[in-house]
Structures are given as structure tokens and as C-alpha cells.
Amino acid sequence: QVQLVESGGGLVPAGGSLRLSCTASGRTTSSTDMGWFRQAPGEEREFVAVVRGLGGYTYYADSVKGRFTISRDSAKTTVYLQMNSLKLEDTAVYYCAARQNGILSTIRSSTMYNYWGQGTQVTVSS
């Protein structure tokens, strides 16, 4: 089992920045992928960014590429999502997610993650 705890959400004006954190506890391994998904009201949960457990490669949704940066600490138990140049459409509940031994082709699929945080609200105001 892996437990995930997020922090860092809040209200920020458009163009501003915010950093989310997610700390994992429990049975994380070197093959644990950790990432972020988000869900806006009335929308499906969508992929934002992920860092691959093996090798530390990072992957981003096209909508956030160049504005968001995902990183992790040296212990590989905490991931960060630095969000810059925030837009109104970034408003959502952001969820941290983790999985183990997943195949690369499914890394953007929320259904392939079996560990989730409680979610943190990010609201971008005009």
C-alpha cells in the first residue's frame, strides 16, 4: 500500500504561480511512477504530468507543457508540481497519483493508477 498526501493548492490570479507537493509513504519502490491529474467540475479527470520511477523521465500534457514542471526529491518519495503562467482553465482539483510496475504506454491513463491522494483545489482567478 502507498499513501499519498498533497499540499499547496489555493487561489491565485491568472498569470501567477503555485507549487503543489505530494509525499508518498508506505511501499514505494524504484519503479513507482508518481504524477498529477486534475478534474474540473463536470469534466473527466485528466492527465497533467508524471515522473517515471525508473530513470526519472517526465511526461506532460500538451496543455501544460512549458508552464508546469514536475520534479521529485532524491528519496523519490515526494513529487512537486511547479505551475507557472496559470490560466483560468487550470482551475481544478489536482490529484496526486502513484502506481508500481506500470508500462510506459499507459502512463497518461488515470485508470492505470491505483493510489490516489485526497485532492487539492487550485483556483485561478481573473
- What is the DSSP code string of 16-56? --EEEEEEEEES--TTEEEEEEEE-TTS--EEEEEE-TTTT
Query: For 64-123, what is each residue's pLDDT tens digit?
Result: 999 999 999 988 899 999 999 999 999 999 999 999 988 999 999 999 999 999 999 999
> So what's the pLDDT on residue 43?
96
The residue length of the chain stands at 126
User: How far is residue 1's CA from residue 28's CA, in Å, rounded to a whole number?
Assistant: 8
User: How far is residue 85's CA from residue 110's CA, in Å, rounded to a whole number?
Assistant: 25
Query: For 27-37, what is each residue's pLDDT tens digit?
Result: 888 899 999 99
> So what's the pLDDT on residue 36?
98
User: How far is residue 119's CA from residue 84's CA, in Å, rounded to a whole number?
Assistant: 19
Average pLDDT value for residue range 12-17 = 98
Average pLDDT value for residue range 49-64 = 96
User: How far is residue 123's CA from residue 80's CA, in Å, rounded to a whole number?
Assistant: 18
> So what's the pLDDT on residue 29?
87
Average pLDDT value for residue range 60-66 = 98
Pairing between strand 58-60 and 68-72?
unpaired
Output the CA torsion 35→40→124→117 (10° steps): -40
